[in-house]
């Protein structure tokens, strides 16, 4: 939101990607780039603009955009600009659709890390004017008065030029910084919210907020589902145990009843051993009992198999539901992390910079040099 409000650059849309393995284009060669050196000198772009005599041709527009990148949005320590930006300008109608604000912020982060980790580095590139304006919006230290301007967007128009100050003046101011001197989050005004760039960003933030809420709800539901699954599994196990006991009791009772209902010969015991007819009756009775027991055992096996199949199907369905919920939860979390990544990194840089003094060092800019560069670029800005 800060880049969009302060610089008026889009932070939604197509990402700005400079592919390392992309072949050099004819357009790059026209601007003096080579395979070994895919860069264009800012000084040569300035001369090119002067030779074009401010005629708004496609060549002039591309040259002016590259010049703006080299002196304002993506300046570096060698006075060049990457020629691969031309690959994004082959179709000039697509240029406004790229997320240039995100690219500026990414470049600023890269220079922050370089400046922090390389103690020998004396130059910091990237869009430092954004960092200065960002401090005006967020921190009430060395903040100049605002201009009375009819333009409400971007906010970079509203600040007057401030006088340069020494490090000795800044250091105690940051050490004594109070919470009421900090604006933690910039909010668009009603007028700004009507502008397409801000409107699209607000819509994206609302979508991210809905995803975040859905993710939290899904996580809560997942926990409830896990608990429900555990309860359901316990209940099924209990039912199965009861079923086993019930089936066993029922079968045993059935066997006892059938044994009682069998018409056994009422012969005395000795007839089964001494009498041939009695012996045959005993054999038939034993065989009949064995057949009945075999049938009952088959019935038991079928019921157990059916029970296992039902249980297995239920477990499979529950596991599938758990997997779907986990996948959904992971996807939503990744979307939220991706949408909040830039804000988290900016907050981390600000906190580290405030505590270590890096931010105060970066804010001490050579404004005279910036104004000189700005004056040099002004005629071309007016022509556009």
Checking phi first, is residue 32 left (phi over 0); if not, alpha (psi -120 to 50) or beta? left
pLDDT band for position 68 (cuts 50, 70, 90): very high
Contact 76, 114 (CB under 8 A): no
* C-beta separation of 322 from 225 below 8 A: yes
Read off the pLDDT of residues 120-169 as tens digits, 9 standing for 90 and up.
888 889 999 998 889 888 988 878 877 777 777 888 878 877 667 777 88
Tokens of 377: 């670029």
d(CA 49, CA 335): 43
Q: Which of 191, 176, 135 is nearest to 6 (CA)?
A: 135
Tens-digit pLDDT profile for residues 89-104: 999 999 999 999 999 9
Q: Rounded to an integer, what distance in angstroms lies between the CA atom of residue 296 and that of residue 378?
A: 100
- Tell me: pLDDT of 349 over 80: no
pTM score, whole prediction: 0.55
pLDDT digits (tens, 9 = 90+) for 16-25: 999 888 899 9
Tens digits of residue pLDDT in 174-232: 888 888 888 889 888 888 888 888 888 888 888 878 777 766 655 555 555 555 555 55
Q: Which two tokens stand for residue 11?
A: 């932070």
Q: How far is CA 122 from CA 9, 229, 259, 358, 363, in A?
A: 28, 61, 103, 13, 14
Question: Which residues are within 8 A (CB) of 350 and not within 5 positions of it... i.e. 6 or more apart?
Answer: 359
User: Mean pLDDT, the chain, as a whole number?
Assistant: 76
């Amino acid at each position: 939101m800060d880049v969009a409000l302060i610089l008026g650059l889009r932070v939604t849309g197509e990402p700005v990607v400079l592919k390392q393995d992309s072949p050099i284009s004819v357009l790059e060669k026209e601007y003096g780039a080579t395979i070994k050196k895919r860069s264009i000198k800012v000084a040569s772009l300035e001369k090119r603009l002067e030779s074009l005599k401010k005629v708004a041709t496609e060549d002039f527009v591309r040259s002016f955009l590259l010049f703006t990148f080299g002196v304002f949005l993506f300046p570096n320590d060698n006075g060049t600009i990457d020629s691969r930006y031309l690959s994004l300008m082959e179709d000039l109608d697509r240029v406004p659709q790229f997320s240039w604000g995100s690219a500026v912020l990414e470049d600023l982060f890269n220079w922050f890390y370089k400046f922090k980790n390389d103690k020998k580095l004396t130059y910091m590139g990237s869009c430092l004017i954004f960092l200065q304006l960002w401090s005006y919006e967020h921190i009430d230290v060395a903040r100049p008065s605002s201009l009375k301007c009819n333009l409400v967007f971007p906010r970079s128009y509203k600040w007057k030029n401030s006088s340069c100050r020494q490090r000795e003046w800044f250091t105690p101011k940051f050490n004594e910084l109070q919470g009421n001197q900090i604006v933690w989050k910039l909010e668009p005004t009603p007028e700004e919210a009507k502008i397409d760039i801000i409107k699209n960003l607000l819509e994206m933030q609302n979508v991210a907020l809905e995803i975040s809420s859905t993710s939290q709800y899904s996580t809560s539901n997942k926990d409830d589902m896990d608990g429900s699954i555990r309860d359901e599994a316990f209940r099924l196990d209990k039912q199965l145990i009861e079923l086993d006991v019930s089936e066993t009791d029922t079968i045993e009772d059935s066997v006892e009843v059938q044994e009682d209902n069998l018409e056994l010969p009422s012969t005395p015991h000795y007839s089964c051993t001494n009498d041939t007819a009695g012996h045959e009756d005993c054999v038939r009775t034993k065989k009949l009992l064995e057949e009945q027991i075999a049938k009952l055992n088959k019935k038991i096996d079928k019921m157990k198999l059916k029970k296992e199949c039902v249980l297995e199907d239920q477990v499979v369905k529950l596991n599938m539901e758990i997997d779907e919920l986990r996948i959904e939860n992971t996807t939503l979390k990744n979307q939220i992390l991706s949408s909040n990544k830039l804000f988290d990194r900016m907050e981390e840089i600000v906190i580290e910079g405030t505590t270590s003094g890096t931010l105060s060092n970066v804010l001490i800019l050579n404004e005279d040099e910036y104004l000189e560069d700005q004056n040099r670029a002004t005629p071309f800005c007016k022509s556009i």
